[in-house]
Structure 1
């Protein structure tokens, strides 16, 4: 499942963040980062997955 989340993080960062942490502050932070630019959203989503953050 980790590989699927990483692939989603590259193409749809908010979806990957949602699958990892649910509707927490990290999800909304990822939405904001993705709106500001694709790269911040991707980096944040990958960070959530690699660090194995949970809600």
Structure 2
């Protein structure tokens, strides 16, 4: 992951997932997790972006 991608993933987790995987199930799951709490969204985004 590049430094820019890491910063985007920390600040806006759904955007980080969108840039790597586009609109789809992973994005929607991350959006819901981020709405429930910022930290679950960040954890999920880092996990998804490592795949």
TM-score of the superposed pair, with normalisation by structure 2:
0.88
Q: What residue ranges of structure 1 are gaps of 5+ in the alignment?
A: none
Q: What is the distance in 1 between the residues matched to 2:3 and 2:26?
A: 20
Equivalent residue pairs, number: 51
Report what 1:30 is aligned to.
Answer: 30
Q: Segments of 4+ in structure 1 off by > 3 A?
A: none
CA RMSD of aligned residues (A): 1.2
